[in-house]
Amino acid sequence: MARTPKVQNSPTLLGQQTPHPANPEEAVLERVPNPHPDTNYMARFTAPEFTSLCPVTGQPDFAHLVIDYAPGKWLVESKSLKLYLGSFRNHGAFHEDCTVRIGKEIAALLKPKWLRIGGYWYPRGGIPIDVFWQTGVLPKDVWAPEQGVANYRGRG
C-alpha cells in the first residue's frame, strides 16, 4: 500500500556517502524546486535493473522501470530516487504492487501535472508481467515518447 512519502524540500543526501535503506518504509524521497515551473516539459527516469523479491517464494524479481512525469512546482531529487528504488531489493511484493506503489508515492511527493510509470517485468513462471499506472493528463504541448522497452523476447 502506498504511503505518503516523507517530504524533504531540500536535498539532505547529496555530497555524502549514504547507506541504502533496508526497505521502502525507511527510504526518503526528496524533492527540489523546479527551476521552470511555468514551462511544460517531461522528465524521464529509467531503472533497467530494478529488483524486488517474490512475496511467496522469496526469489528475486527483475524489472525495467520507466518513470515519466511533467513537473509542476517540484522535481524528484535523483539520488533519493535511486536509493528509494534500491530499497525494494529485499522487499517482498507482487509486480503490480511495486509498480503502482512507486508511481503513487512519487505522485504524492511531487503533485506533478502528469506522471506515468511502466514496469516491464521479466518472466515469473514463464510469463512476463508488464504493469502501467498513470495520473493526470499529459499537457497538450508536451511530447511523451514511447517508453522504448521491447515486448518480451529476452528484453534485450
Domains assigned to the chain: 41-136 (3.30.1130.10)
pLDDT at 43: 98
Over 90: is that where the pLDDT of 52 sits?
yes
Write down the pLDDT at residue 150. Answer: 78
User: Which residue, 151, 122, 103, is CA-closest to 63?
Assistant: 122
Closest Cα to residue 5, out of 79, 136, 110? 110
List of residues 6+ apart from 123 with CB closer than 8 A: 152
Nearest to 128 by CA among 144, 145, 149: 149
pLDDT bucket at 71, cuts 50 / 70 / 90: very high
**Catalytic residue annotation:** 54, 61
Percent of the chain residues past pLDDT 90, beyond the cut: 78
Q: Output the pTM of the full model.
A: 0.89
Average pLDDT over the chain, rounded to whole? Answer: 91
| pLDDT above 80 for 116 | yes
